[in-house]
């Protein structure tokens, strides 16, 4: 019998530490003179980072002194930001089943190119990742590919149908970091209650897609004045708020590691804030697009802006930024949802929801930093330290002993989003064709460069 006693160190069984292009395959890697942002220690200032055999051994001003000569690779990081590799709790890699949109190889390349060293793949594959065999397949595939590490989420219920619980303990053994029926909500409160209790037994994170489907039948976008003008069926905020409220109540006794996926409403943010103040066990993520766009983006019916939950109103965007600043929203997750022109070059009602996000997150959110709406250290924390803490994935810090998962950013590099610049197979981004500022220059996984711009 497998043991479930071990603490949730999903990172202790790294599925894919090796592979990628061995650009800097030296024993010792020295990142010199960058602006080093390490939220775990609160460090934000010029420093060196020294990585030896995949592990950080020194970090600080002058830390590189004495590291020279044979076997030492030195990288000049002046003018660059050096941060812990990002961890994304919410991506869709479409493998198995819809590899024409994305597969684990292209998805992990896109992750590395965006500065992500670990990603959590949602289970809405075809078939649904609701059993050990599919979890194992995804983990094995990622190990084969190498580069950024992949941690699958298993489904909460068989087929994500909301009825019967999956073999969560078995999937955890196979490498699942948590459970979620993402794409659909567990609508039945009794099933959700048991899912929370059962997942808590095995210390698995439960990520909920909060949507009362009765309130969103036929919905194409956020309910409001813009939906009324466009004649599109609206998704009211209450559809999200009701499920957050219900789950928070159910979790008072269940005490599971309950996590709100892609939170989008001011009301849900307020509820999570209050629940945390009462000491309840709840965490939440927000996507870059819910931090930046409103329902006005739907004018002209661009299918690239059709997402679930939908783009809300300016007051929600403000509430998201405020909640991210004060820690109500723990982390940023992309909800990277690749689709091909088959799903997106069509009339609105036929379009699938979702947009890609891995490779645009950094430039877009650096915009919030430049505008003074978000601190640089908080941004890095929400992309690395916080998701590591929530998920148990090892990473999110730069101190001695930490994994050599490090990203080097150029905050000023300008580039245009397009086929030539993206690693993802899909182009369903509202920023397609836009020039953005800021890019990930090098991504190290366990000290190995898996991405270089």
Partner 1 sequence: MSALFPHRHLLGIEGLSAKDIVSVLDTAEVFYEVSRRPVRKVPTLRGKGVINLFFEASTRTRTSFELAGKRLSADVVNISTSTSSVTKGETLLDTLKTLEAMRPDVIVIRHPSSGAALYASQKVGCSIVNAGDGTHEHPTQALLDAFTIRRAKGRLDGLVVTICGDVAHSRVARSNARLLGMLGSKVRVVGPRTLMPADCAALGVEVFDRLEPALEGADVVMVLRIQQERLQGALIPSLREYSKTYGIGPRTLRYAQPDAVVLHPGPMNRGVEIDPATADGERSMVLEQVEAGVAVRMAVLYLLAADPGTGMTAG
Catalytically active residues are 335
**C-alpha span between 429 and 336 (Å, rounded):** 10
As a residue count, the chain comes to 453
Residues that bind partner 1 (rule: CB under 8 A) add up to a total of 23
Q: Which residues of 85-112 are buried (b: 16+ CB within 10 A; e: fewer)?
A: bbbbbbbbbbbbebbebbbbbbbbbbbb
Least distance to partner 1 from the beta carbon of 290, Å? 20
Burial of 428 (0-12, 13-18, 19+ CB in 10 A): buried
Q: Is residue 301 involved in binding partner 1 (CB under 8 A)?
A: yes
**Nearest approach, Cβ of 98 to partner 1 (angstroms)?**
17
- Under the binding rule (CB under 8 A), the answer on residue 315 touching partner 1 is no
The binder of partner 1 chosen from 300, 372, 401, 419 (CB under 8 A):
300
Q: Is 346 in the site for partner 1 (CB under 8 A)?
A: yes
**With respect to partner 1, which residue has the nearer C-beta, 244 or 305?**
305
Output the smallest distance, CB 217 to partner 1, in A: 8
Q: Is 23 left (phi over 0), alpha (psi -120 to 50) or beta?
A: alpha
Is the alpha carbon torsion for 283, 322, 318, 249 positive or negative?
positive
Is residue 220 involved in binding partner 1 (CB under 8 A)? yes
Query: Please, which residue, 6 or 346, has the CB nearer to partner 1?
Result: 346
As measured in angstroms, the least distance from the Cβ of 347 to partner 1 is 4
| Residue 252 sits in the site that holds partner 1 (CB under 8 A) | no
How many angstroms separate the CA atoms of 222 and 231, rounded? 12
Spatial distance between the Cα atoms of 93 and 150, rounded to a whole number of angstroms? 10
- Report if residue 353 touches partner 1, rule: CB under 8 A: no
416 contacts partner 1 (rule: CB under 8 A): no
Task: Note whether 314 binds partner 1 by CB under 8 A.
Answer: no
Q: Is residue 240 part of the contact set for partner 1 (CB under 8 A)?
A: no
Q: How far is the CB of 313 from partner 1 (least distance, A)?
A: 10
What distance in Å separates the CA atoms of residue 240 and residue 337, rounded to the nearest whole number? 20
Nearer of residues 53 and 229 to partner 1, judged by Cβ: 229
Indicate whether 236 belongs to the interface with partner 1 (CB under 8 A): yes
154, 234, 309, 392: which one binds partner 1 (CB under 8 A):
234
230 interacts with partner 1 by CB under 8 A: yes
Nearer to partner 1, 242 or 358 (CB): 242
Q: Say if residues 424 and 356 touch (Cβ distance below 8 Å).
A: yes
Q: Where are the alpha helices (DSSP H) in 37-131?
A: 104-113
Of the candidate spans 108-116, 225-233, 368-376, 409-417, the one that interacts with partner 1 by CB under 8 A turns out to be 225-233
The residue among 227 and 248 lying less far from partner 1, judged by its C-beta, is 227
By C-alpha distance, which of 192, 283, 288 is closest to 246? 192
Interacting residue with partner 1 among 12, 188, 201, 228 (CB under 8 A): 228
- Min dist. Cβ of residue 309 to partner 1 (A): 16
Is the Cβ of residue 227 or residue 398 nearer to partner 1 in the bound state?
A: 227
Strand order in the sheet with 86-91: 86-91, 116-121, 149-154, 178-180, 205-208, 257-260, 282-286, 331-332
If one asks whether residue 349 binds partner 1 (CB under 8 A), the answer comes out as: yes
Binding test (CB under 8 A) with partner 1, winner from 350, 370, 416, 433: 350
**Binding flag, residue 430, partner 1 (CB under 8 A):** no
- Quick one: which segment of 31-39, 142-150, 173-181, 345-353 binds partner 1 (CB under 8 A)? 345-353
Which helix (DSSP H) or strand (DSSP E) does residue 28 occupy? strand 28-38
DSSP state of 274: H
Q: Which is nearer to partner 1, 65 or 345 (CB)?
A: 345
**Which residues between 359 and 388 bind partner 1 (CB under 8 A)?**
none
Q: What is the DSSP letter of 184?
A: S
Find where tokens 């309910």 sit.
Answer: 223
Indicate which single residue of 23, 40, 245, 348 sits in contact with partner 1 (rule: CB under 8 A). 348
Which C-beta is closer to partner 1: that of 140 or that of 432? 432
Say whether residue 133 binds partner 1 (CB under 8 A).
no
Which of 76, 144, 318, 345 forms a contact with partner 1 (CB under 8 A)? 345
SS3 assignment, position 130: coil
215 binds partner 1 (CB under 8 A): no
Distance set, CA 451 to CA 25, 112, 113, 147, 289 (Å): 13, 6, 6, 8, 24
| Residues 32-56: b if buried by 16+ CB within 10 A, e if exposed | bbbbbbbbbeebbeebbbbbbebeb
The two tokens of residue 6 are 């071990």
Kindly give the residue spans of alpha helices, DSSP state H, lying in 395-438: none
- Decide whether 337 or 351 has the Cβ nearer to partner 1: 351
Residues engaged in binding partner 1 (CB under 8 A): 220, 223-234, 236, 300-301, 342, 345-350
């Amino acid at each position: 019998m497998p043991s479930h006693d071990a603490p949730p160190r999903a990172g202790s069984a790294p599925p894919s530490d090796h592979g990628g292009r061995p650009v800097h395959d030296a024993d010792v890697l020295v990142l010199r003179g960058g602006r080093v942002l390490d939220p775990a220690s609160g460090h934000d200032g010029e420093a060196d980072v020294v990585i030896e055999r995949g592990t950080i051994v020194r970090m600080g001003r002058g830390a590189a002194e004495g590291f020279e000569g044979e076997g030492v690779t030195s990288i000049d990081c002046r003018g660059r930001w050096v941060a812990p590799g990002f961890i994304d709790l919410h991506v869709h890699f479409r493998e198995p089943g819809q590899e024409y949109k994305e597969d684990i190889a292209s998805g992990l390349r896109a992750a590395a190119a965006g500065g992500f060293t670990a990603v959590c793949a949602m289970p809405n594959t075809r078939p649904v990742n609701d059993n050990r065999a599919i979890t194992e397949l995804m983990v094995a595939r990622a190990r084969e590919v190498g580069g950024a590490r992949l941690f699958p989420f298993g489904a909460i219920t068989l087929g994500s149908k909301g009825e019967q619980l999956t073999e969560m303990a078995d999937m955890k053994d196979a490498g699942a970091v948590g459970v979620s029926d993402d794409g659909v909500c567990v609508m039945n409160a009794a099933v959700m209650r048991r899912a929370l209790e059962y997942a808590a037994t095995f210390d698995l994170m439960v990520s909920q897609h909060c949507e009362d489907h009765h309130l969103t039948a036929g919905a194409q976008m956020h309910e409001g004045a813009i939906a009324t003008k466009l004649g599109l069926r609206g998704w009211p905020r209450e559809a999200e708020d009701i499920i957050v409220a219900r789950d928070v109540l159910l979790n008072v006794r269940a005490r599971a590691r309950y996590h709100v996926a892609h939170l989008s409403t001011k009301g849900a943010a307020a509820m999570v804030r209050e629940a945390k103040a009462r000491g309840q066990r709840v965490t939440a993520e927000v996507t870059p697009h819910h931090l930046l766009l409103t329902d006005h983006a739907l004018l002209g019916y661009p299918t690239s802006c059709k997402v679930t939950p939908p783009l809300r109103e300016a007051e929600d965007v403000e509430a998201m930024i405020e909640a991210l600043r004060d820690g109500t929203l723990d982390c940023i997750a992309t909800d990277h949802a690749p689709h091909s022109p088959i799903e997106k070059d069509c009339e609105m009602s036929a379009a699938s929801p979702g947009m890609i996000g891995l490779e645009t997150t950094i430039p877009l959110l650096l915009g919030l930093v430049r505008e003074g709406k978000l601190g640089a250290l908080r941004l890095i924390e929400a992309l690395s330290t916080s998701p590591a803490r929530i998920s148990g994935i090892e990473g999110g810090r730069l101190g001695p002993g930490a994994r050599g998962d490090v990203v080097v950013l150029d905050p000023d590099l300008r580039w245009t989003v397009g086929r030539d610049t993206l690693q993802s197979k899909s182009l369903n981004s509202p920023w397609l064709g836009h020039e953005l500022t800021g890019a990930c220059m090098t991504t190290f996984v366990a000290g190995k460069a898996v991405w270089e711009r």
